[in-house]
Amino acid sequence: MFDNINSGAFIRRGGPHTIIKFKRLCGFGVKEILALSRPTTNVTRNVIANFMKTAKSTIILTLIIFIVMTLLTMKHEAISDGIDTYGFPYIFYEHFEGKCDNCYDDFGFKPRFLFTDFSLALLLSYCVIWIKNKFSKSEMLTQDNNYVKVLFRFHSNVLDEETVETMWATIVDKEKGFYKLDSIPFYAPYVASDDIVFAEFDDQEQMLTYRKTVGYSGNSTVQIVLIDKSKDINQIRDLFKELGCVSEKVNEGYFAMEIPSTVDYKNIKKKLVELETQETIGYAEPCLADGHKL
């Protein structure tokens, strides 16, 4: 059904009023506003964070396995002419008190066996974590029945750094990896709500990750920053709601707005220009469909 989905009529790119416009507004604190809630991360930091998380879980589980198995298998019999033993499967400490005709001299602490026991516990805990991650992977691919989260990684021209954003999507064709976006992008360029994207599980990100857009909805995305702090951002949103546009607020200074494919962009553009001229808002068109280009 979706073999030729890429041949849709809506070829989209940033509009003439692009995100670069935001750079000129940084004197008004726009960059700081965006930074308040942006879900950004550096690739290297992300790899290190994932590694440290796995390593921490593995070490904690290793200690638990080692201590529990040692306590469960230890013998405390030296007080009754027996032998105290600690270690599983290899005994790394033996202690003897009293007489014993058949006892050998190799009592005491044995570091090589302690190392072997700990290594086996480490190997077991690694296997447990690996199996857990495999099950988590399958669970993450499908959340809330037909809904999944898709991660987008891109370079932000405003923040001038590697940035990530996650969006909700519905499953279109799970086998082919096709998902329909159900969120308004806050930061990601060149995508809009209802677009169909190809995403696959990324071992580094540990979740579904965007690869490319395979079907365009015809919707557009406009990002708006409130410049005049005396104005109520929700009243600004209501102005555009009356024109047929829904939006999602990030914070009191920034929101992203969806322009449906069925809505005439002329009136919306007029209002955007008017509010920008009044220095009430700043806006960018990071994702403008052909049907909305003026």
Does residue 83 or residue 222 have the better pLDDT? 222
Q: Report the pLDDT averaged over residues 260-288.
A: 92
Q: Report the pLDDT averaged over residues 191-207.
A: 91
CB atoms within 10 A of CB 172: 19
Mean of per-residue pLDDT scores for the chain: 79
pLDDT tens, position by position, 109-125: 889 999 999 999 999 99
Share of the chain above pLDDT 90, in %: 43
- Cα–Cα distance for residue pair 60/129, rounded to 1 Å: 11
231: which 2 tokens? 């104005």
On whether the CB atoms of residues 236 and 224 are closer than 8 A, the answer is yes
pLDDT tens, position by position, 152-164: 988 776 567 788 8
**Which of 31-35, 181-185, 211-215, 218-222 has the least mean pLDDT?**
31-35
3-state secondary structure of 75: strand
On whether the CB atoms of residues 209 and 150 are closer than 8 A, the answer is yes
- Cα–Cα distance for residue pair 254/28, rounded to 1 Å: 13
pLDDT value of position 115: 94
Query: Is the pLDDT assigned to residue 23 strictly greater than 60?
Result: no
On whether the CB atoms of residues 179 and 191 are closer than 8 A, the answer is no
Distance of CA 149 to the CA centre of its chain: 8
Nearest CA to 43 out of 133, 163, 159, 142 is that of 163
Query: Is the pLDDT assigned to residue 196 strictly greater than 70?
Result: yes
pLDDT value of position 162: 82
**Which of 54-63, 134-143, 204-213, 276-285 has the least mean pLDDT?**
134-143
Q: Give the confidence band of 268 by pLDDT, cuts at 50, 70, 90.
A: very high
Q: Report the pLDDT averaged over residues 177-195.
A: 91
- Residue 184 makes CB contacts below 8 A (sequence gap 6+) with 192, 193, 221, 246, 247, 248, 256, 257, 258
